[in-house]
Amino acid sequence: MMNDSFQDIVTSIMEINKEFLESLTGAGEQMLAQHDQAWREWKRQLATDDQPAWQKLIAAYQQEQLNFWTRLVPESMRRDPDMLESFSQVVDSRFADQEWDENPILQLLKQSYLLASKNLVSMVDALSLPPDEKRKLTFYVKHLLDALAPTNFFMTNPEAIKRAMETGGESLVRGLENLCKDMKLGRLSMTDETAFTLGKNLAATPGAVIYENEIMQLIHYQPTTALVFDRPLLIIPPYINKFYILDLQPHNSFVRYCLDQGYQVFLLSWVNPDQQHSELGWDDYVEKGILAALEVVGNVAGEKKINIVSWCIGGTLLATALAVLESRKKINRIASATFLTTMLDFSDPGDLGVFIDESYLESQEKKASITGFIPGQDLFYSFSLIRANELIWAYVAKSYLQGIDPPPFDILYWNSDPTNQPPKLYSYFMHNMFNGNRLIEPGALRVCGIPIDLGKIKTPTYFLSTINDHIISWRTTFTAGRFLSGSRTFVLGAGGHVAGVINPPGQQKKHYWINGDEGSEPDQWLKTATKVQGSWWTHWSRWLKRRAGKKITAPDQIKTRGRNKTCPGSVAYCLSMVSAR
């Protein structure tokens, strides 16, 4: 028999568990109702009695709960070794604090939450829904479950309680201050933003803006070596982000690394659009962006062949620009093209596909018709939802519940500084590529009046994917190079979408994979690939140097040459023009 105190504990936890389950039909209904078909089917099948699969799931859940409670009851509050073994099988960083394993009350709450979460996800999986609808519903159910985790509430977060006792309640005051500060900002703070100043300890590599038009500025960086390769290097970042991710601090600046290898480095910085840019579209970003930059770089470098590096959606844009150059018989100006975590085939956009349905696009386009642009924070929030535990709730628990200020982190500073999008550009990309997947169909898209055929592009290419990419699955980016006809080198880096790219030499435990079976599917490629310790930057640089031309004396100073309008100025000037924060 249980003693009275333990009976009270069990009763309380069961009540919490009951409220947790019921919350899906309360607080969760509004979120799930975003996808009417999935939600209606969810409720219909919940109300259907003749569902053998559901009956088995519910029975299994009830049996697991019964087993859990009965294993805890014997010998009052003493822990059951068998039960602890079941806890140890669950690896979840949210429950890393030892109190979750040592405190019987928290053990009850943790296991009850995990069992209920598992059951609800299984219930969604048992629905007879089209795959896309099931994927959306699963995503939102998991997102709701993440939000309801006991670690997100003060009274059920042992670290928050412990810190409040140690600080005499000061942590609670500090947490409230952090919450108020973020409410004023309109976003969650992920780093100490006072630790960074653009142009001083971020984006501080010496250089100048040598050309500007309505859509971009072109930066030319001062060489750091006496001799440089005569073929210049043009870097194209995503137009949804600020350029300085490629020029963070000296120790992890990709731009600085390239300069130190002897490359002449140019970088395209996209405008941060507002209402006056609402009519800019994909053609403008190709013609006035990439192609205009190539012309200026060619003039500065004496019409030499040019190597190009692109990242993410900047790579998607580059692929269409190369197809335009091919049609115009100017592709021979490009010595090589590097694509970092780039999608060309959008048949499987991963969890991003949850946000890219017609109803979502319609709502975004409706808002943009009023504001004149797609806010950068919208996309930032979508990316955060994909890894909500790491990019939302972990900061809620630390900053608000424990009153701990986030530490300085340059990548997260940049991550919180997104770029707006013109509605015309946004709609073209979303409808034709994300939803329509027309880029890989020869002639299905026209850019700058030219039918796009990726198969005609014979430029040597280097493709990098990252194994823990939460935005674009590496298995999706793995196939990108197969749509082009030139020689391809594929490398799989460690890390995620950003940290896997900003991966300088000298860091311990860094590695990448090369030389897998090129004709195989992604997983087979990885099985046959060679794991190499170190940074992919060094592998890429060796690859690029074979295509970089001969060594010449580095120019003493940067010259501003361009067409239509030259815009001499420092990189700090460029930062001011893109409204960096």
The pLDDT tens digits for 422-456 are 999 999 999 999 888 999 999 999 999 999 999 99
Q: Which of 535, 575, 556 is nearest to 201 (CA)?
A: 575
**Rounded distance, CA 309 to CA 54, Å?**
51
Angle at which helices 170-185 and 158-166 pack, to 10 degrees? 120
Q: Which of 139, 44, 42, 41 is nearest to 357 (CA)?
A: 139
Q: Sort strands 227-229 and 216-221 into parallel, antiparallel or unpaired.
A: unpaired
The pLDDT tens digits for 450-498 are 999 999 999 999 999 999 998 888 998 999 989 999 999 999 999 999 9
**Rounded distance, CA 278 to CA 275, Å?**
5
Do the domain assignments include residue 272? yes
Residues 250 and 111 in one domain: no
Residues 126 and 271 in one domain: no
Do the domain assignments include residue 174? no
- Asked whether 37 and 133 are in contact (CB, 8 A), the reply is yes
Do the domain assignments include residue 110? yes
Do the domain assignments include residue 108? yes
DSSP-based three-state secondary structure for 221: strand
Decide: pTM greater than 0.85: no
Residues 136 and 256 in one domain: no
Q: What is the pLDDT of residue 185?
A: 83
The pLDDT tens digits for 105-125 are 888 889 888 988 888 888 888
Q: Which residues of 322-343 are buried (b: 16+ CB within 10 A; e: fewer)?
A: bbbbbbeeebeebbbbbbbbbb
* Last residue of one domain, picked from the residues 127, 152, 177: 152
- Asked whether 360 and 370 are in contact (CB, 8 A), the reply is no
Strand ranges inside 358-459, DSSP E: 446-447, 450-451
466 forms beta bridges with 493
Do the domain assignments include residue 162? no
Do the domain assignments include residue 69? yes
The pLDDT tens digits for 166-203 are 998 899 889 989 988 888 888 889 999 899 999 999 99
Tokens of 224: 């750091």
Residues 91 and 214 in one domain: no
Q: What is the pLDDT of residue 77?
A: 41
Residues 239 and 112 in one domain: no
Q: How many CA atoms lie within 13 A of 109 on its CB side?
A: 22
Do the domain assignments include residue 563? yes
Residues 560 and 431 in one domain: yes
**Rounded distance, CA 348 to CA 473, Å?**
9
Residues 264 and 330 in one domain: yes
The pLDDT tens digits for 523-532 are 999 999 999 9
**Rounded distance, CA 233 to CA 527, Å?**
33
Residues 362 and 427 in one domain: yes
Q: Sort strands 207-212 and 216-221 into parallel, antiparallel or unpaired.
A: antiparallel
Residues 147 and 213 in one domain: no
pLDDT at 295 exceeding the cut of 50: yes
Tokens of 462: 């280097």
Residues 425 and 316 in one domain: yes
**Rounded distance, CA 494 to CA 517, Å?**
19
Q: What is the CATH number of the domain that holds 280?
A: 3.40.50.1820
Do the domain assignments include residue 406? no
- Asked whether 491 and 513 are in contact (CB, 8 A), the reply is yes
What's the sign of the alpha-carbon dihedral 70, 72, 74, 77? negative
User: By residue range, what is the domain housing residue 68?
Assistant: 4-152
DSSP-based three-state secondary structure for 227: strand
Q: State which H helix or E strand residue 528 sits in.
A: helix 522-528
312 as an active site residue: the answer is: yes
- When divided into structural domains, the chain yields a total of 2
Q: What is the pLDDT of residue 233?
A: 98
Among residues 312, 448, 567, 574, which one is catalytic?
312
The pLDDT tens digits for 358-392 are 778 888 899 899 999 999 888 777 778 888 888 88
Q: Which of 195, 330, 208 is nearest to 269 (CA)?
A: 208
Residues 22 and 93 in one domain: yes
* Last residue of one domain, picked from the residues 110, 134, 152: 152
The confidence band for 6, taking pLDDT boundaries of 50, 70 and 90, is very low
- Longest C-alpha distance within the chain, in Å? 89
* Last residue of one domain, picked from the residues 113, 131, 152: 152
**Rounded distance, CA 60 to CA 66, Å?**
10
Residues 366 and 514 in one domain: yes
